[in-house]
Structure 1
Amino acid sequence: MKRRLVIFDLDGTLLYTLEDLLNSVNFTLDLFDYETCTLEEVSSYVGNGIEQLMRRALPTNISEKEFALCLACFKDHYSKHCCEKTRPYPGMMELLQLLKSRDIKVGVLSNKYQEAAEEVCEHYFAGLYDIVVGESEHCRKKPAPDGINMICEKLNIPKDETLFFGDSEVDVKTGDNAGVYCVSVLWGYRDREFLANNGAHVFVKNPLDIADIIG
């Protein structure tokens, strides 16, 4: 069956974002006199949204009041510096241009808060996507099916004509929960063994190979 809609995860799938995330995490930790994180640590913390990223980066015994201050600090810093070292993965721009030329709709589904997801998508992919859905009061984070459901409904494309691509175990669970086929990408923040151990069955090694999968 021809696929008319492709939905992409953002961090680790469309964009390499770790260095900007690390910068904002460590700016916050340093400001509040906490030990900073390594790139590898931040890589293991991403996937469940900004709040969970900061909970994993901060000590477990801090108060909710201080956590709220740290989270606000991170959001403010990241909103100003989210596009400094972030970059599309090799081949991604060509893939998105190819999908557009074939009249295949493109959705972006992220656990970033909505404003940040929109900002980075517009900065890097202006004109190459149809809808961006991030975390908001109207949409539960992945692995809830809300985001995929919203994208399919707004673009009026059934789920059996949709494919979802992501780099994490959260994305695999999201596809399962939404009833949409998920393909796991191997250029992101999780390796093949980890993904396979968390339910992934189909993998892709290169963005341009996605065009062949779509058919």
Structure 2
Amino acid sequence: MPAYETVVFDLDGTLLNTIEDLHLSTNAALAAHGMPKHTLDDVRRFVGNGIRKLIERAVPAGTSAAEQDAVYEDFCTHYAAHCEDHTGPYPGIPEMLAHLRAAGVRLAVVSNKGDFAVQELIARQFPGAFDAVLGECEERGIRKKPAPDMVNAALERMGADRAGMAYVGDSEVDVQTAANVGCPCVTCSWGFRTHEELLAAGATTFVDTPAELERVLLGTAD
């Protein structure tokens, strides 16, 4: 039997390396409004709490709500057209997912990224790999992470509960989400935060490769 019957994954920085496309779409939207561009490292620090929060962090201080909305819309348009230009799974992720499915583990993805992009990326990058997939959908009353709502909705869709589940992510938002759900958190070191940032956020269980993550989730780690 695997160590966990159900595993819920974050997407960006955990399964997919999306940072370059997020960076390019952010700067394209800012440039369309004559605003200064940001470095890749800036955008790495801005992501994690959804697209609106990304734009709020990226626009200059004092930007009006109306102009923030316009930048957000331009980001969404650009990202919808370019979200796979430079995006792909981290090496070893597809194999890990296949091994978990073969072991009978239920798999889900919950992401604060817009649902339009999450559904497209999962369908194209990981066809048939997941039992439940949720992007940001607060208009349906499902709060973004770190609230537990998205994980709870994924569990409901799978007919699962919190017993026997683990949450896998790469950021302080993910550590907080797992704490709010009340489940173990496995933190990936290859994502968008430094080890020091993750330790400060309270992360305790780290994995450095997808193969190591697989061993932890299946209970075959030494």
Q: Identify the TM-score tier after normalising by the shorter chain.
A: over 0.9
**Alignment partner, residue 175 of structure 2:** 172
Residue 120 of structure 1: aligned partner: 121
The C-alpha deviation readout for 1:153-186, integer Å capped at 9, x for no partner, is 2212221211110000000000001112111110
Aligned to 1:85: 86
Alignment-derived partner of residue 189 in structure 1: 192
Matched residue SS, 2:156: helix
Residue 211 (structure 2) pairs with residue 208 (structure 1)? yes
Distance in 1 (alpha carbons) for counterparts of 2:161 and 2:211: 24
Amino acid at match of 2:44: S
Q: Does 1:151 align with 2:154?
A: yes
Task: Compute the TM-score of the two structures, normalised by the length of structure 1.
Answer: 0.97
Superposed CA deviations along residues 12-38 of structure 1, whole A, max 9, x for unmatched, are 000000110011111111111111111
* Letter in structure 1 aligned against 2:37: T
Give 1:48-67 correspondences, 5 Å limit.
Answer: 48-67=49-68
Aligned-partner Cα distance in 1 for 2:38–2:98: 36
Q: 1:211 is aligned with what amino acid?
A: E
- Taking the TM superposition and a 5 Å limit, the aligned residue runs for 1:85-104 are 85-104=86-105
Calculate the TM-score normalised by the size of structure 2.
0.94
User: Matched residues in 1 for 2:115 and 2:43: separation?
Assistant: 21
Counterpart Cα distance in 2 of 1:60 and 1:121 = 34
Paired residue total: 215
1:33 matched residue in structure 2: 34
Q: What RMSD in Å do the two structures reach over aligned CA positions?
A: 1.0
1:142 equivalenced with 2:145 (yes/no):
yes
Q: How far apart, in 1, do the equivalents of 2:131 and 2:56 lie?
A: 32
Instruction: Please list the CA deviations of residues 95-125 of structure 1 after superposition, one character each: whole Å capped at 9, or x if unmatched.
Output: 0111111121110010011111111111100
Identical-pair percentage: 41
1:151 Cα offset (Å): 1.1
User: In 1, Cα distance between the equivalents of 2:157 and 2:123?
Assistant: 19
Flag structure 1 segments of 5+ consecutive residues without an equivalent: none
Contact kept in structure 1, 2:3 and 2:216, CA below 8 Å: no
> 1:58, CA displacement in angstroms?
0.4
Query: 2:94 & 2:185 partners in 1: Cα distance?
Result: 21
Tell me by how many angstroms 1:2 deviates. 3.4
Report the CA distance between 1:52 and its aligned residue: 0.6
1: CA distance between counterparts of 2:61 and 2:136?
23
